[in-house]
Amino acid sequence: MEINLAGVLPEALLIDLPEIDVQHEEIFRRIESLKAACFGSGPAPLEGFQSLLDYLKHHFATEEQVALEAAADFVDHAKVHRENLHALRRALGEVRHGKRDVHSFLRYAEYWFERHINEEDKPFAASVRACRLKSSTAPQLVVSLQA
Ligand SMILES: [Fe+2]
Ligand SMILES: [Fe+2]
């Protein structure tokens, strides 16, 4: 049986920055795929978990780049990302050493990510849009080279 993982990001979690929404979709798709792969009693695909963390790191860097380009403040958001990556790496280490099961890791990752989109990424998207609007409507500085 083939599992259709298309469209796993609920509409309520869209933040209206297409380059970020597409990555959020990919993160949820990977979590759903890992849940399916861990169903049953076979060995857990730990490389898939590491790949999820690598993709998260890439995603956080993308958000930082979007903020930088829009000149939006990102200091507190970056700190939240760093703390999350640290917590997920520690949790994955616990999975590797048999101190935490894969389902617990996935529940934690999914819960954290949904909460993060609602509480941090949505305000971040609003501030990026506001900064973009401000820079597009700011009067252009005209420098005359004539004396
Ligand atoms: Fe995000
Ligand atoms: Fe974020």
Which ligand has the nearest atom to the CA of 119? 2
4 located within any domain: no
| Centroid of ligand 1 to alpha carbon of 47 (angstroms) | 22
Within a domain: residue 58?
A: yes
Q: Is residue 2 part of a domain?
A: no
In a domain, 90, yes or no: yes
Angstrom distance (rounded) from CA 50 to CA 18: 25
75 part of a folded domain: yes
Burial of 138 (C-beta count, 10 Å sphere; 0-12/13-18/19+): exposed
Pick the ligand that lies closest to the CA of residue 67: 2
State which residues form the domain around 49: 16-137
CATH of residue 86's domain is: 1.20.120.50
The answer to whether residue 59 sits within a structural domain is: yes
Residue 95 falls within a domain, yes or no?
A: yes
Rounded (5°) CA angle 14-20-25: 60
- Measured in angstroms, how far is the CA atom of residue 126 from the centroid of ligand 1? 13
Number of domains composing the chain = 1
Asked, for residue 145, whether it belongs to a domain, the answer is no
One pLDDT digit (tens) per residue for the chain, 147 residues: 444 445 788 899 999 999 999 999 999 999 999 999 988 767 778 899 999 999 999 999 999 999 999 999 999 999 999 999 999 999 999 999 999 999 999 999 999 999 999 999 999 999 999 999 998 887 765 555 555
Rounded to the nearest angstrom, the distance between the alpha carbon of 145 and the centre of ligand 1 is 45
Give whole-number Cα distances, 92 to 44, 75, 113, 117, 134, in Å: 12, 26, 16, 22, 42
